[in-house]
């Protein structure tokens, strides 16, 4: 196999399984997986804990002035064989996935200064290549020169059903309607914001996985990566 390493950028709508694909791809090729959404979630958790968000309104200036106090790291967890998100030294992997964080993350992610800080960290993580990163602006802003870009999507109802099953399995009491609303609202905010809106990069390959199994999707993306690597030897 080639030793040439590339950057794989995976963007798409909320809850379409980007992270699952990205993680599996990273394992398959021995690459580093970075879930950029976890970083925006960690900033949101910080803002919630400091009472900087009320009724979905973020106290922008205060949060921006506190950005230097926010330390975000991914630390490998040998037990789960995944990297966990740490906020100022505390493992917040579980907490950032809760619905309260999902309900407040998109307004936080519209703040240009927050994005600049996260993008800088992300670009640093990709310096040596051999990375699979998923998010909303990875192929357009973070790594516009990524060798391979995917844009993943599925219908909002199917995405809500998957997220509902995931949270229910974890024992969180949530309603399907509440999740569907959250997904539609995040799609709206993510796609219409001024700073790095969610959009497909011109050179991204589209993967609509509404009616695909996880295995089928993975086969499809693995084949694309292999093809890409073949031409890079
Ligand atoms: O897991 P899910 O797809 O639902 O969301 P996520 O990837 O954890 O991202 C959470 C939120 O962070 C998104 O709804 C976006 O508002 C924001 N985000 C972003 O703006 N840019 C990124 N590169 C990644 C996430």
Torsion of CA 222, 78, 33, 130, to 10 degrees: -80
Closest CA to ligand 1's atom 21: 136
106 lines ligand 1 (CB under 6 A): yes
Check whether 232 has a pLDDT greater than 80: no
User: In sequence order, what DSSP letters do the residues of 129-155 get, joined into one string?
Assistant: --EEEEESSIIIII-TT-SEEEEEE--
Q: Return the CATH number of the domain spanning residue range 7-227.
A: 3.40.50.300
User: In sequence order, what DSSP letters do the residues of 202-213 get, joined into one string?
Assistant: TTPEEEE-TT--
Check whether 157 has a pLDDT greater than 80: yes
Check whether 80 has a pLDDT greater than 90: no
As a whole number, the mean pLDDT across the chain is 94
pLDDT in tens, 194-227: 999 999 999 999 999 999 999 999 999 999 999 9
Check whether 12 has a pLDDT greater than 60: yes
Check whether 92 has a pLDDT greater than 90: yes
Domain boundaries along the sequence of the chain: 7-227
Do residues 164 and 179 touch, judged by C-beta distance below 8 A?
Answer: yes
Check whether 1 has a pLDDT greater than 60: no
Centre of ligand 1 from the C-alpha of residue 1, in Å: 33
Closest CA to ligand 1's atom 1: 15
153 lines ligand 1 (CB under 6 A): no
Check whether 168 has a pLDDT greater than 60: yes
Residue 82 has what pLDDT? Answer: 87
109 lines ligand 1 (CB under 6 A): yes
Residue 114 has what pLDDT? Answer: 98
């Amino acid at each position: 196999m080639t030793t040439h390493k590339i950057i794989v950028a995976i963007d798409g709508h909320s809850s379409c399984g980007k992270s699952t694909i990205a993680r599996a791809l990273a394992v398959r090729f021995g690459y580093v997986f970075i879930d950029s959404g976890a970083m925006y979630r960690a900033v949101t958790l910080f803002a919630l804990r400091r009472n900087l968000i009320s009724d979905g309104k973020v106290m922008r200036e205060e949060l921006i002035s506190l950005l230097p106090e926010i330390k975000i790291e991914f630390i490998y967890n040998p037990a789960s064989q995944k990297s966990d998100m740490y906020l100022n030294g505390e493992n917040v992997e579980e907490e950032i996935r809760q619905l309260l964080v999902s309900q407040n993350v998109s307004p936080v992610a519209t703040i240009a200064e927050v994005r600049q800080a996260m993008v800088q960290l992300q670009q640093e993580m990709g310096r040596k290549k051999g990375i699979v990163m998923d998010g909303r602006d990875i192929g357009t802003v973070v790594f516009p020169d990524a060798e391979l870009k995917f844009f993943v999507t599925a219908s909002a109802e199917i995405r809500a059903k998957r997220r509902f099953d995931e949270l229910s399995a974890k024992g969180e009491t949530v309603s399907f309607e509440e999740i569907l609303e959250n997904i539609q609202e995040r799609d709206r905010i993510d796609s219409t914001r001024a700073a790095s809106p969610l959009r497909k990069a011109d050179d991204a390959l589209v993967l609509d996985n509404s009616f695909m199994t996880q295995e089928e999707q993975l086969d499809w993306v693995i084949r694309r990566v292999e093809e890409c690597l073949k031409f890079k030897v």
